[in-house]
């Protein structure tokens, strides 16, 4: 039975094309297992232009939007897919976002997924290997 401090949630996680291209899936899943959450769903898929633009709709006015769309669609890597997962459990969003680290891999905690595996390209694009919804 859940107590007053339990907050059951579900959160979308994407292992992005750069994470797949670098063969980081196993490492990322191992790190995510630290959260003691349940994988409710998982699917490997190609991200269409329409899906990418809908997913990043809030960033449409940013100067990096087109580059971001190309990135999530796999146009910049040898892998053209993402691994999409839904993790569920107590405080799932908070736990996953803490493990993922901040969006900017250079500002992310060095023990976070983005801090360990992410980078910023010479054009300023964040290749941060994972998306964690809030």
Q: Give the active site residues.
A: 131
Q: What is the 3-state secondary structure (H, E, C) of the chain?
A: CCCCCCCEEEEEEEECHHHHHCCCHHHHHHHHHCCCCEEEEEEEEECCHHHHHHHCHHHCCCCCHHHHHHHHCCCCCCCCEEEEEEEEEECHHHHHHHHHCCCCCCCCCCCCHHHHHCEECCCCCEECCEEECC
């Amino acid at each position: 039975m859940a107590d007053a401090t339990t907050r059951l949630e579900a959160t979308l996680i994407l292992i992005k094309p750069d994470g797949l291209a670098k063969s980081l899936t196993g490492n990322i899943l191992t790190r995510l297992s630290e959260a003691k959450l349940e994988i409710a769903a998982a699917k490997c898929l190609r991200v269409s232009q329409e899906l990418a633009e809908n997913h990043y709709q809030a960033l449409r006015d940013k100067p990096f939007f087109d580059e971001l769309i190309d990135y999530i669609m796999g146009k910049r890597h040898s892998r053209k897919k993402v691994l999409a997962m839904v993790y569920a459990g107590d405080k799932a969003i908070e736990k996953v976002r803490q493990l993922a680290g901040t969006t900017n891999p250079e500002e992310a905690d060095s023990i976070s997924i983005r801090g360990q595996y992410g980078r910023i390209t010479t054009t300023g694009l964040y290749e941060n290997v994972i998306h964690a919804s809030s």
